[in-house]
């Protein structure tokens, strides 16, 4: 089993038991999300439990590519389980984070970790190669620490007297030496206090942000998992892997000596540069001080940074856009650190704070107002303000250590809080006006579902803000060229041709990429959404290629701008594993995993009738610019699709197209036996039938 | 990382040892001596022949490195055919909570002009290999895995490392940077060594590792930890100094 370590660690916190699962039992799912879903399906008998139920199982999975030289395919870790963030149901969901955790886990000899049960008191898990111990948090006083302090205390404990930078001999099974510190993933106070927007944090800012897994860990009394290992990851064809790596980076990656095209953040050819949005909306500002790019293990182009002041180390993307109107850049950078130290999801905090400001401006929220809220909004922009706000979420109090009902409400997430405050009722409810900009499953708006259709549809048909930038690159490329200058990396026609040619088995259907209003509910659009779900479910979330670098569609360094997707993914996969996997095999396996996930959601209670956006998406036109590919008089152009809503009835037509395409019952959205059987998921069909939820067809 | 074994080098009893001679004479002189006469010189008090200088060295830029550890993965991949950070002959060590540039260091083998590891090996399993530009190399067949080379290395972490080696029935063997001279899984048809390609250099995405034939300054770190940042790098928003 090249690329694999052979065993998955299973930890029962209720009984303090350490067990193992042979990886081979789940090898058909390859790794990451596929394995996680399959293990979850097998271990959680009652899928209707709440995310805080001790029977909830959290899987933390690697892939065969983790810890190898696959560019932007080595450093991710996939986390799954029943989440607590989404609304009205905490869906079975996923999140993943970068850094070095998955690499170190494999060096320790494990392909993943399965967490179940609830410890009696706060514990952390100490993995040193094959030696695994559940340790009480008390000796290190870990419970109550922020995520950074927690990690450093564990580092020092595991290293003992070993000096930083010297070889450390592991006292765990297998021995071996390493210069590295353990890779620790930890929760902060937000997780301990069961805040539904609590994250898992690894190193300074690698965050498993969505799903509220920080709170799930908190409910299990699990503070952190530390892993350090010294073992080898076997590679089927070392020379082929090295050759593929060099060819890929020499041909398709950013080249400082020969710069081509517009550098973007979410493409394979991105430069090694921190993706920070500090300074918005006045324009992105990089701190003018000494700094380096920082990359996950094996990545060819880091997307984070570390700085001379240490402020905002490794902070990234939404974690830097939060508190965008801070009165100084340093305050905004410190606000990024607050999120990471307290373990709070950046997007929900960001959109949530926008919402609170609207309510304050309208005079309904603030100290002594109808919604008695302890933040003094005239101090907005100061560090004191944002620190209090983040602490309110993390500690569920007034942010100064005193009891506060509205602080406690924030920990429930903004949609649940708004509901409790009576803000969702009536024709002017905040999800009807759009004041509460949370369009799907009670989760904050990321990219606009009324415009970027694959993002919006993919999210509402799934479980979370998909946060998959495959086609979103078009939005950024064209937006920048229209407002800043320069040409897009490809014409609209080139973009459509290049992308759709790679989208097997739907290749060549150009209409998949017509984002225009006439086409937005069509069978073609259903194919785009389906392909995106299948590609990401396998190649990004199971093989664990990085969302910011893959797929490689339009690439200015490549011949005719044709990127490497469809050629390279499987080349790396096969070099590591020795399998004979095709790109289409990956898409098909992604479809299988997507079907398993749909079955789990169905068992949780999902029905077609629940699959709809918040009302404002149907009622309030999107006002921002968004240029996507569409046909104008038969010719492909980048068209501004601003100003439209999603038509509620026509969206139902789209759903019918989509369910037909997936082979699900269009009346209910339930997967059918014939479809599941064709995917070798007969036992899943049996389970659905037992629960009266098997689709017809 | 500091010079942890400086004191070990000073037990001279008033004689000028090969090491202390080199230390006193300075890098420029060393270069000249190495280039001209060292192969023929014998220091009687140590009763070993002077070792010809390596014809290649790795230089690194710790302020430029992006910490991806691709160099480490490439090292174990071409040498052992596996991915293992613990087996890498070049070590990137990081603390994400520290301020730049103190958050990261790169520790590579220096191919010392005066290699303590070579001197310490009791079975002559670690020697300069004239077939590969005198790079200091471990001869696995002879190595007993005693660890004297790692213990003698004056740098932290030691640049030699001892680990179980599958090629020798999992017996403990020393490993050390050979500039990929005899890397069994080398991808390049002409191979590695001072006259070939080094995996860490080829794979580094930000060109933070460089090869040189010039003997770096032996004292301290400045000769090996250098500035590889140029205006192009600065155009990405990074400092050149």
Q: Cβ contacts (< 8 Å) between B234 and chain A: which residues?
A: none
Cα–Cα distance measured from residue A676 to residue B31, given in angstroms and rounded to the nearest whole number: 72
Tens-digit pLDDT profile for residues B39-72: 334 343 444 458 999 999 999 999 999 999 999 9
Name the minimum distance, in Å, from the CA of B12 to any CA of chain A. 28
- B108 contact A CB<8A: no
Is position A297 within any domain? no
Antiparallel, parallel or unpaired: β A77-82 and A92-97: antiparallel
Is position A466 within any domain? yes
Task: Answer whether A275's CB lies under 8 Å from A303's CB.
Answer: yes
Cα–Cα distance measured from residue A310 to residue A294, given in angstroms and rounded to the nearest whole number: 13
How many structural domains compose chain A?
2
Cα–Cα distance measured from residue A231 to residue A181, given in angstroms and rounded to the nearest whole number: 15
Say whether pLDDT at A172 is over 70. no
Q: Compute φ and ψ for A597, nearest 5 degrees.
A: -60, -45
Instruction: Among A181, A203, A228, identify where a domain stops.
Output: A228
Task: Note whether A290 contacts B101, CB cutoff 8 Å.
Answer: yes
User: Which residue among A69, A271, A302 sits closest to B74, beta carbon to beta carbon?
Assistant: A69
The CATH number covering residue A549 comes to 1.10.599.10
The three-class DSSP label of residue A158 is: helix
Is position A245 within any domain? no
Using omega within 30 degrees of 0 as the cis cutoff, is the peptide bond preceding A72 cis?
A: no
Cα–Cα distance measured from residue A413 to residue A431, given in angstroms and rounded to the nearest whole number: 14
Is position A419 within any domain? no
Tokens at A655, concatenated: 């759903």
Task: Note whether B81 contacts A293, CB cutoff 8 Å.
Answer: no
Beta pairing partners, A185: A202, A225
Say whether pLDDT at A542 is over 50. yes
Say whether pLDDT at B213 is over 60. yes
Instruction: Among A206, A228, A250, identify where a domain stops.
Output: A228
**The pLDDT of residue A285:** 80
Task: Answer whether A685's CB lies under 8 Å from A692's CB.
Answer: no
Cα–Cα distance measured from residue A56 to residue A77, given in angstroms and rounded to the nearest whole number: 19
Number of DSSP helices (H) and strands (E) in chain A, helices first: 23, 21
Is position B49 within any domain? yes
Length of chain A: 697
In chain B, residues 185-204 whose CB comes closer than 8 Å to chain A = 185-187, 199, 202-203
Task: Note whether A256 contacts B233, CB cutoff 8 Å.
Answer: yes
Residue of B205, B207, B230, B231 best to disrupt the A interface, most CBs of A under 10 A: B205
**The pLDDT of residue A193:** 98
Lowest pLDDT segment from A506-520, B8-22, B84-98, B171-185: B8-22
Instruction: Among A228, A247, A278, identify where a domain stops.
Output: A228
Is position B239 within any domain? no
Q: Compute φ and ψ for A577, nearest 5 degrees.
A: -95, -25
Tens-digit pLDDT profile for residues A25-77: 999 999 999 999 999 999 999 999 999 999 999 999 999 999 999 999 999 99
Mean pLDDT of A4-21: 98
**The pLDDT of residue B22:** 43
Interacting residues of A484 by C-beta distance below 8 A, sequence separation 6+? none
Task: Answer whether B63's CB lies under 8 Å from B102's CB.
Answer: no
Task: Answer whether B46's CB lies under 8 Å from B116's CB.
Answer: no
Cα–Cα distance measured from residue A499 to residue B123, given in angstroms and rounded to the nearest whole number: 61
Task: Note whether A298 contacts B73, CB cutoff 8 Å.
Answer: yes
Mean pLDDT of B5-17: 37
Is position B198 within any domain? yes
In chain B, residues 21-50 whose CB comes closer than 8 Å to chain A = none
Domain that holds residue A678: 453-690
Is position B90 within any domain? yes
Say whether pLDDT at B34 is over 70. no
Beta pairing partners, A532: none
pTM: 0.95
Report chain A's mean pLDDT, rounded to a whole number: 96
Task: Note whether A232 contacts B236, CB cutoff 8 Å.
Answer: no
Task: Answer whether A315's CB lies under 8 Å from A276's CB.
Answer: yes
Cα–Cα distance measured from residue A9 to residue A2, given in angstroms and rounded to the nearest whole number: 18
Cα–Cα distance measured from residue A581 to residue A111, given in angstroms and rounded to the nearest whole number: 20
User: Which residue among A151, A246, A308 sits closest to B99, beta carbon to beta carbon?
Assistant: A308
Is position B86 within any domain? yes
Is position B241 within any domain? no
Cα–Cα distance measured from residue B179 to residue A490, given in angstroms and rounded to the nearest whole number: 42
How many structural domains compose chain B?
1
The three-class DSSP label of residue A630 is: strand
Cα–Cα distance measured from residue A463 to residue A79, given in angstroms and rounded to the nearest whole number: 14
Say if residue A296 is exposed, middle or buried (CB neighbours under 10 Å; 0-12, 13-18, 19+): buried
What is the end-to-end Cα distance of chain B in Å, rounded?
A: 21
Crossing angle of helices A453-460 and A523-535, rounded to 10°: 70
- B134 contact A CB<8A: no
- B236 contact A CB<8A: yes
Tens-digit pLDDT profile for residues B86-135: 999 999 999 999 999 999 999 999 999 999 999 999 999 999 999 999 99
Mean pLDDT of A351-361: 98
Length of chain B: 241
Residue of B3, B86, B155, B204 best to disrupt the A interface, most CBs of A under 10 A: B86
Report chain B's mean pLDDT, rounded to a whole number: 85
Lowest pLDDT segment from A165-179, A530-544, A545-559, A673-687: A165-179
**The pLDDT of residue B49:** 52
Domain that holds residue B159: 6-234
Task: Answer whether A85's CB lies under 8 Å from A347's CB.
Answer: no
Task: Note whether A179 contacts B69, CB cutoff 8 Å.
Answer: no
Antiparallel, parallel or unpaired: β A77-82 and A183-186: unpaired
Is position B1 within any domain? no
Interacting residues of B215 by C-beta distance below 8 A, sequence separation 6+? B27, B30, B31, B34, B53, B57, B113
Is position A246 within any domain? no
The CATH number covering residue A26 comes to 3.60.9.10
Is position A333 within any domain? no
Antiparallel, parallel or unpaired: β A123-128 and A177-178: unpaired
Tokens 């060109």 sit on residue: B207
Q: A281 pLDDT band (50/70/90 cuts)?
A: low
Name the minimum distance, in Å, from the CA of A102 to any CA of chain B. 13
Task: Answer whether A364's CB lies under 8 Å from A370's CB.
Answer: yes
Cα–Cα distance measured from residue A500 to residue A208, given in angstroms and rounded to the nearest whole number: 31
Say whether pLDDT at B21 is over 90. no
- B82 contact A CB<8A: yes
Cα–Cα distance measured from residue A614 to residue A622, given in angstroms and rounded to the nearest whole number: 13
**The pLDDT of residue A164:** 87
Comparing alpha-carbon positions, the chain B residue that sits nearest to A288 is B237
């Amino acid at each position: 089993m090249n690329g694999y370590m052979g065993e998955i660690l299973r930890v029962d916190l209720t009984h303090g038991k350490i067990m193992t699962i042979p990886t081979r039992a789940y090898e058909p799912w390859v790794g990451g999300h596929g394995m996680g879903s399959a293990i979850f399906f097998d271990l959680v008998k009652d899928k209707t439990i709440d995310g805080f139920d001790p029977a909830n199982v959290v899987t933390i999975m690697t892939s065969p590519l983790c810890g190898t030289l696959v560019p932007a395919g080595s450093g991710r870790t996939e986390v799954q389980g029943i989440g607590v963030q989404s609304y009205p149901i905490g869906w079975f969901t996923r999140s993943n984070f970068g850094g070095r955790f998955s690499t170190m886990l494999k060096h320790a000899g494990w392909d993943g970790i399965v967490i179940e049960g609830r410890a009696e008191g706060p514990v952390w898990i100490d993995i040193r190669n094959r030696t695994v111990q559940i340790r009480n948090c008390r000796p290190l006083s870990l419970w109550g620490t922020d995520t950074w302090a927690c990690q450093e205390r564990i580092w020092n404990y595991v290293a003992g007297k070993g000096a930083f930078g010297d070889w450390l001999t592991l006292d765990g099974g297998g021995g071996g030496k390493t210069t590295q510190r353990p890779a620790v993933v930890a929760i902060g106070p937000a997780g301990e206090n069961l805040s539904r927007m609590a994250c898992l944090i690894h190193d300074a800012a690698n965050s498993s942000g969505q799903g509220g897994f920080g709170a799930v860990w908190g409910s299990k009394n699990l503070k952190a998992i530390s892993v350090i290992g010294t073992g080898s990851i076997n590679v089927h064809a070392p020379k082929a892997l090295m050759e593929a790596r060099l060819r890929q980076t020499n041909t398709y990656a950013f080249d400082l000596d020969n710069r081509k095209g517009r550098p973007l953040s979410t493409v394979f050819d991105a430069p090694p540069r921190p993706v920070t949005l500090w300074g918005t909306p006045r324009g992105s500002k990089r701190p003018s001080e000494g700094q380096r790019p920082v990359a996950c293990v094996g990545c060819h182009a880091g997307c984070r940074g570390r700085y001379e002041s240490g402020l905002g180390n490794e902070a990234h993307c939404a974690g830097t856009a939060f508190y965008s109107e801070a009165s100084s850049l340093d305050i905004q950078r410190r606000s990024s650190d607050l999120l990471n130290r307290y373990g709070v999801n950046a997007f929900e905090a960001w959109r949530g704070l926008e919402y609170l400001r609207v309510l304050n401006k309208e005079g309904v929220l603030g100290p002594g107002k109808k919604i008695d809220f302890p933040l003094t909004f005239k101090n907005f922009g100061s560090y004191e303000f944002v620190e209090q706000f983040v602490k309110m979420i993390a500690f569920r109090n007034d942010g100064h250590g005193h009891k506060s009902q509205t602080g406690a409400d924030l920990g429930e997430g903004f949609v649940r809080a708004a509901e409790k405050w009576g803000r969702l009722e009536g024709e002017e409810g905040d999800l009807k006006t759009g004041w509460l900009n949370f369009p799907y499953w009670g989760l904050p708006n990321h990219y606009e579902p009324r415009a970027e259709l694959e993002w919006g549809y993919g999210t509402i048909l799934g479980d979370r803000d998909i946060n998959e930038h495959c086609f979103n690159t078009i939005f950024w490329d064209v937006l920048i060229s229209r407002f800043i200058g320069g040409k897009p990396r490809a014409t609209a026609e080139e973009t459509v041709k290049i992308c759709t040619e790679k989208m097997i088995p739907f290749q060549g259907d150009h209409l998949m990429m017509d984002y225009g209003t006439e086409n937005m509910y069509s069978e073609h659009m259903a194919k785009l959404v389906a392909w995106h779900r299948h590609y990401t479910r396998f190649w990004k979330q199971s093989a664990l290629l990085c969302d910011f670098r893959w797929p490689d569609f339009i690439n200015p360094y490549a011949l005719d701008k044709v990127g490497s997707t469809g050629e390279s993914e499987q080349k790396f996969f096969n070099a590591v594993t020795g399998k004979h996997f095709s790109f289409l095999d990956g898409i098909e396996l992604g479809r299988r995993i997507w079907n398993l996930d749909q079955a789990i959601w169905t068992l949780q209670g999902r029905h077609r009738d629940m699959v709809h956006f918040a009302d404002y998406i149907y009622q309030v036109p999107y006002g921002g610019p968004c240029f996507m590919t569409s046909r104008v008089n038969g010719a492909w152009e980048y068209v501004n699709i601003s100003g439209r809503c999603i038509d509620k009835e026509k969206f139902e037509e789209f759903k019918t197209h989509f369910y037909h395409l997936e082979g699900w019952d269009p009346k209910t959205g339930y997967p059918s036996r014939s479809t599941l059987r064709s995917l070798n998921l007969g036992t899943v069909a049996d389970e659905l039938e037992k629960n009266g939820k098997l689709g017809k067809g | 990382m500091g010079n942890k074994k400086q004191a070990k080098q000073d037990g001279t009893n008033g004689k000028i040892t090969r090491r202390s001679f080199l230390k006193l004479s300075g890098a420029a002189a060393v270069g000249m001596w190495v280039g001209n006469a060292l192969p023929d010189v014998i220091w009687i008090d140590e009763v070993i022949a002077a070792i010809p200088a390596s014809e290649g060295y790795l230089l690194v830029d710790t302020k430029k490195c992006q910490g991806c550890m691709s160099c480490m993965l490439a090292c174990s991949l071409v040498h052992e055919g596996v991915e293992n950070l613990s087996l890498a002959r070049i070590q990137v060590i990081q603390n994400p909570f520290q301020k730049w540039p103190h958050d990261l260091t790169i520790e590579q083998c220096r191919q010392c002009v005066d290699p303590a590891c070579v001197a310490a090996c009791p079975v002559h399993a670690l020697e300069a290999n004239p077939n590969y530009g005198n790079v200091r190399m471990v001869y696995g067949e002879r190595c007993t895995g005693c660890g004297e080379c790692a213990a003698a290395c004056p740098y932290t972490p030691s640049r030699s490392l001892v680990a179980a080696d599958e090629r020798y029935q999992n017996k403990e063997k020393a490993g050390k940077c050979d500039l990929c001279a005899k890397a069994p899984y080398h991808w390049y048809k002409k191979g590695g060594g001072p006259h070939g390609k080094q995996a860490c250099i080829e794979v580094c995405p930000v060109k933070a590792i460089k090869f040189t034939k010039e003997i770096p300054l032996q004292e301290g770190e400045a000769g090996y930890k250098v500035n590889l940042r140029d205006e192009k790098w600065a155009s990405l928003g990074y400092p050149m100094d």
